[in-house]
Structure 1
Amino acid sequence: PRNCLWIPILLCLFNELSFAEAESSTILLPSQQHNADSVSTTFCAHCPAPDPSLNYRPVIGILSHPGDGASGRLSNATNASYISASYVKFAESGGARVIPLIFNEPEEILFEKLELVNGILYTGGWAKSGLYYDIVEKIFKKILEKNDAGDHFPVYAICLGFELLSMIVSEDRNILETFDRANQASTLQFVKNINIEGTLFQRFPPELLKKLSTDCLVMQNHHVRKLCFMYG
């Protein structure tokens, strides 16, 4: 009989612990503290459970560049192409997955892949003519069509990729100027009255922006190539 007296007490204690555990497992916003009863309903309405059959990481297509990436030491084949690992790691570091777009594969396959990605990255390199230029232009026109149709489809161009887009957009293959600087530091001079809002420099502290124009903090490494100077 004495043991029976403990049963209601233990049951009551168990219920209180269970309620406390349930409350501690629920993360409440400050505005929800006063109405804990509606938390589960609110959570379900605004934060549906992820679909396990879907992968929410974006897919970025990277266009390969002619050559083997090692000055012919790996392959001398005329149809060889490569993508530097640094570009893949760059995309992956932002949470993206990567699909290689081989520039000289059949166009029907290339454009089929284009429908499977959420954006395009053009890499650096040297090829400014021939099939590579033509493919870059065709892909870029497809990207414009997607964006004009309301499909947000970003393109990120680095070095050669940016130069090629400058040539394509301007419809002038001679828009680039000769520039030769190797392993040299320089200052960075901004155009007067330039608006840096929405650019990388927007996050720079004023002291650093000033130092860019007075101290040699900018690395220049261009080997007798063409560059396009863009002014905002």
Structure 2
Amino acid sequence: MSSDAVWVLFHLAFFSQCLPSAWAHSAILLPGQLARDSSQSCPAPDPNLYYKPVIGIVSHPGDGASGRLSNATGASYIAASYVKFVEAAGARVVPLIYTEPPEKLLKKLELVNGVLFTGGWAKSGLYFETVTKIFKKILEKNDAGDHFPLFATCLGFELITMIISQDNNILEEFSASNQASTLQFVENANIGESVFQRFPPELLGKMSTDCLVMQNHRYGISPGKLLNNPKLSSFFEILTTCTDEDDKVYVSTVRSRNYPVTGFQWHPEKNAFEWGSPRIPHTEDAIQITQYVANFLVSEARKSLNRPVAQELLDNLIYNYSPTYCGKAGKGYDEVYIFAQA
């Protein structure tokens, strides 16, 4: 008998002693010999969920690079990090180009299962008007029985704060530009029904002690000012706060009490997909935060009743556009999608 054969027999004898008795006395079947046991079939997907969700992302004025990439009149952009953020959780993206005619934008809202408002600087003019119309439409869709989520990040959160309060001067100034921070969870906040519902307890603990989230804003709202405004306090529940460089406390995460609306003053998309600033956290814990937040958005979008027409959807997906690499400048975004309206 050859040495190879002896080696094989030895291992067979060894593993037969180590395997559980149920395995040791059962036949080992090849894939083609497996019994067709209906009890082993895969469970059917939940018919109440939509497993091809699409998120609409509203474009922001400019090119995202202070005119270095495009200074065309009417140009707008979406940072590719927001697109990757959505895609990483299993959804596709339709760009909601803010300069498009209102009727076209409203038609695009019938192609998506949720919306994301991005960060930026614009707080007036056509952009503010467009965001206001889309926000009101989102509430209308929910009031009509469709579970239609909104994620509002940084500027997006600031804008819906202005819209809900009906006060364009409600925001306060803070020193929180280009810095990582902790998140301080508000006592008795309803975490179980929020974006943090699936976070492991250990990660939630680290978020309150380690600088794992990225801040980049000059404006926001303090807890006192939000709670003292009847419109805001009845719409939002404060989940977390943060402290800026001058030790001023601002609201950093909110959830709507009655709608699937979540607001962030921080940037969950940056940890995994932006590299321009050395202060962006890129640890494994930080990356997990990005993923858990994205997963929550897309899980909410799967509850939407909207079922877009296939061809119309394909014609409007972000795949019809190409991102522009702008990371060599070492600041700002790494990639942007630019939309130049005629």
The TM-score with structure 1 as length reference comes to 0.70
Residues 1:25 and 1:171: Cα distance change in structure 2 (over 3 Å) = farther
1:133 to 113, 128, 132: 128
One-letter code aligned to 1:26? R
Cα pair 1:120 1:154 within 8 Å, conserved: yes
The CA distance in 2 between the partners of 1:200 and 1:151, in whole Å, is 19
The CA distance in 1 between the partners of 2:86 and 2:180, in whole Å, is 28
Higher relative contact order (CA 8 A, sep 6+): 2
String of CA shifts for 1:78-127, please: whole Å, max 9, x gaps: 30001111111111112212111110111121111111211111111111
Aligned twin of 1:111? 106
The CA distance in 2 between the partners of 1:61 and 1:207, in whole Å, is 32
1:181 to partner: Cα distance: 2.6
Aligned twin of 1:226? 219
Identical-pair percentage? 63
One-letter code aligned to 1:100? P
1:217 to 211, 216, 220: 211
Aligned twin of 1:155? 150
Structure 1 segments unaligned to the other structure (5+ residues): 1-19, 31-38
2:81 to 86, 89, 92: 86
The CA distance in 2 between the partners of 1:216 and 1:161, in whole Å, is 25
Aligned twin of 2:72? 77
Aligned twin of 1:8? none
1:24 to 6, 20, 34: 34
The CA distance in 2 between the partners of 1:122 and 1:27, in whole Å, is 48
The CA distance in 2 between the partners of 1:78 and 1:63, in whole Å, is 18
Cα pair 2:118 2:154 within 8 Å, conserved: yes
Residues 1:152 and 1:27: Cα distance change in structure 2 (over 3 Å) = farther
The CA distance in 2 between the partners of 1:65 and 1:106, in whole Å, is 15
The CA distance in 2 between the partners of 1:189 and 1:25, in whole Å, is 54
1:95 aligns with 2:86: no
Residues 1:183 and 1:118: Cα distance change in structure 2 (over 3 Å) = closer
Equivalent residues, number: 193
1:222 to partner: Cα distance: 3.0
One-letter code aligned to 1:222? N
The CA distance in 1 between the partners of 2:156 and 2:58, in whole Å, is 10
One-letter code aligned to 2:221? C
One-letter code aligned to 1:198? E
Cα pair 1:125 1:160 within 8 Å, conserved: yes
1:199 to partner: Cα distance: 3.0
1:195 to partner: Cα distance: 3.6
* RMSD, aligned CA: 3.2
Aligned twin of 1:35? none
Structure 2 segments unaligned to the other structure (5+ residues): 1-29, 224-237, 240-342
* Partner SS, residue 144 of structure 1: helix
One-letter code aligned to 1:149? A
The TM-score with structure 2 as length reference comes to 0.49
Cα pair 1:181 1:220 within 8 Å, conserved: no
Cα pair 1:185 1:216 within 8 Å, conserved: no
Aligned twin of 1:57? 52
Residues 1:139 and 1:188: Cα distance change in structure 2 (over 3 Å) = closer
The CA distance in 2 between the partners of 1:226 and 1:180, in whole Å, is 8
String of CA shifts for 1:125-168, please: whole Å, max 9, x gaps: 11111110110010111111111111221111111111111111
